Structure 1
Amino acid sequence: MKILLLTGSHPRHLYLVNELVKTGFVTAHVMEKREEFVPQPPSSLEEVDRTNFIRHFKERDEAEHRHFKGNDKVSVSLPTLEVTMQQLNSEKTIEWVKNQHFDLAISYGVHKLGDDLLEALPENAWNTHGGLSPWYKGNTTLFWPFFLLKPNWAGMTIHRLSSRLDAGDIVHHSVPELAHGDGLHDVACKAVIQAAKDLAQIVTTIELENIRYTPQKGNGKLWIGTDWMPQHLRFVYNTYNNDIVDQFLDGKLKKIEPTLISAFSKGE
């Protein structure tokens, strides 16, 4: 098997690259240079929201470096095309991809792929989405399970790439094991780690022709960027002080389990 990766440039993205590199199957890499990881708070915020905003993104950055230490670069030399968001779907990128040799493409942490780039990818082309689809499609999808007091719904979806955002047939759901002391960002990082582990196992133990694709069903939601506001952080930090996982594990929150799809199940 030969794999083309299309990923972002943050440590979480390069962690997944480095874990898949260990399989020996990765032959090429398109890397999109992503935005700064610690944004500045909007000037219009009330003090409570400014404080929460700074705390939220500072703790995200700390968790990222704690969980993905040593993944600020790709661990081996690969044919690599570095692009900006504007260059991602350019003719140059499409031609470069067409000149690579691979039979599986996996994306993670890049902006939406255009139709022309999708057409340059093989039948087996997957996205690694930070969120459990169909319930959490779109943006900020590892935050909303905490806001809804369902931390066990914070996970990742490996699904077939499609022109519709996060709507492709599902290959696998990954969820991390929750532990006392986990904050929101710890769970998000652990979800990436579990997804990387699962992906490596999928590509090394299952032939592509035996991959089962499950159409997305159910009443999911496409969360858009404007759904999230800094004021939502009051609930996580001021009401719960980021101890939602502890409350859940201690039985203080209602436990509802998502119906997950596994690439490793035998099926019917």
Structure 2
Amino acid sequence: MLTSDDAHHRYLAAQLNQRFGLAALVVEPSRSQHRRLWRRRRWIDWAALAYHRCRRRLTGLDAYRENYFALAPDAPAWPVTPDLTVDWINQREVVSLLGERAPDVTIVICTSILSRRTLDAANTTVNIHGGFLPWYRGNHCFFFALYERAFERIGSTIHFVDAGVDTGDIIEHVVPRLEPGDSAETLYCRAEKAAIHRLVDLLDALQAGVPLPRKPQPPGGRQYYTRDRNLFHDLRFWLRRRRGRLGIPQPDASTNAL
């Protein structure tokens, strides 16, 4: 597993380890991803990420996610000691570790984009993406789907990883149930937890000889960057929500949303 260090990443690691045992765990902390932007002189991206990290902390969203994906009180932060904690997921040590362990499947979530060398070493690579592919690639996909009132395209996607950004073949969409009081965060957490458990079931079936579903992504969609969401978007969304104008449809009891 190649991962960052948010609460749902630790939750995914715990679920995978409980069901299968992790052959290797590599962690690329979010703070390392942030520092890397500065070192690469991507000032705008660095400032955008700093804004969102501050926004999440001050509005309680970090605390909400930590609570939503909380493990047992006596559980360690990671189910196994990480084999590597790296500043960049494509470091030579990561490629070497993948070559040594030769995993059948590598699960990746919220790391930097994998290089071709890392992808080759990882063998079959699967990602849980927080967005409805192909229409919402990149970052803040739940927010922009709500912002654009694209309610039919709110969900997470389990997909194969290729050399592009969220462009690999789709395994399955996981769509959360919509409630009138929902926010991007509540929908994201609900969909990601459901996607985690769905992925574990799919891998269980794979182990029993059932191949993972696979279908190419249809054309269309857009990639959203962290810098695409700014204070203007957040203030406008807040005003819409305060005035009851988000337009979230009433839940339909006939749907199979989670």
Same fold, TM-score > 0.5, yes or no: yes
What displacement does 1:137 show?
A: 0.6
**For this pair of structures, how many residues does the alignment match?**
233
Task: Give the AA of the match of 2:18.
Answer: K
Supply the distance in 2 between the matched residues of 1:55 and 1:103 (Cα, whole angstroms). 36
Specify the alignment match of 1:227 in structure 2.
228
Specify the alignment match of 1:30 in structure 2.
26
Q: Does 1:107 align with 2:103?
A: no
Supply the distance in 1 between the matched residues of 2:120 and 2:243 (Cα, whole angstroms). 43
What 5-or-longer segments of structure 2 have no aligned partner? 33-43, 45-50
What displacement does 1:69 show?
A: 2.0
1:15 counterpart (6, 11, 16): 11
Task: Give the AA of the match of 2:14.
Answer: N
Per-residue displacement from partner, 1:230-264 (whole Å, max 9, x unpaired)?
2101222112239677842279xxxxx9xx9xxxx
What displacement does 1:218 show?
A: 2.9
Per-residue displacement from partner, 1:193-224 (whole Å, max 9, x unpaired)?
01101101101123566223211113211122
Relative to 1, partners in 2 of residues 1:242 and 1:78: Cα closer, same or farther, differing over 3 Å?
A: farther
What displacement does 1:110 show?
A: 0.5
Specify the alignment match of 1:59 in structure 2.
60
Q: Percent identity?
A: 23
| Equivalent residues of 1:18, 1:74 under 8 A apart | no
Specify the alignment match of 1:127 in structure 2.
127
Supply the distance in 2 between the matched residues of 1:242 and 1:70 (Cα, whole angstroms). 36
Q: Secondary structure at the match of 1:127?
A: strand
Relative to 1, partners in 2 of residues 1:164 and 1:28: Cα closer, same or farther, differing over 3 Å?
A: same
Relative to 1, partners in 2 of residues 1:224 and 1:183: Cα closer, same or farther, differing over 3 Å?
A: closer
| TM-score calculated relative to the size of structure 1 | 0.76
Specify the alignment match of 1:186 in structure 2.
186
What displacement does 1:74 show?
A: 4.3
Relative to 1, partners in 2 of residues 1:79 and 1:248: Cα closer, same or farther, differing over 3 Å?
A: same
Relative to 1, partners in 2 of residues 1:92 and 1:54: Cα closer, same or farther, differing over 3 Å?
A: closer
Relative to 1, partners in 2 of residues 1:204 and 1:163: Cα closer, same or farther, differing over 3 Å?
A: same
| TM-score calculated relative to the size of structure 2 | 0.79
| Equivalent residues of 1:14, 1:73 under 8 A apart | no
| Equivalent residues of 1:178, 1:245 under 8 A apart | no
Q: Does 1:76 align with 2:72?
A: no
Q: What is the aligned-residue RMSD (CA, Å)? A: 3.0
Q: Does 1:215 align with 2:216?
A: yes
Specify the alignment match of 1:159 in structure 2.
159
Relative to 1, partners in 2 of residues 1:211 and 1:95: Cα closer, same or farther, differing over 3 Å?
A: same
Relative to 1, partners in 2 of residues 1:6 and 1:173: Cα closer, same or farther, differing over 3 Å?
A: same
| Equivalent residues of 2:102, 2:122 under 8 A apart | no
Specify the alignment match of 1:6 in structure 2.
2
Relative to 1, partners in 2 of residues 1:244 and 1:108: Cα closer, same or farther, differing over 3 Å?
A: farther
More helix by share: 2
Q: Secondary structure at the match of 2:215?
A: coil
Supply the distance in 1 between the matched residues of 2:202 and 2:58 (Cα, whole angstroms). 32
Paired residues for 1:195-210 under 5 Å: 195-207=195-207, 210=211
| Equivalent residues of 1:159, 1:172 under 8 A apart | yes
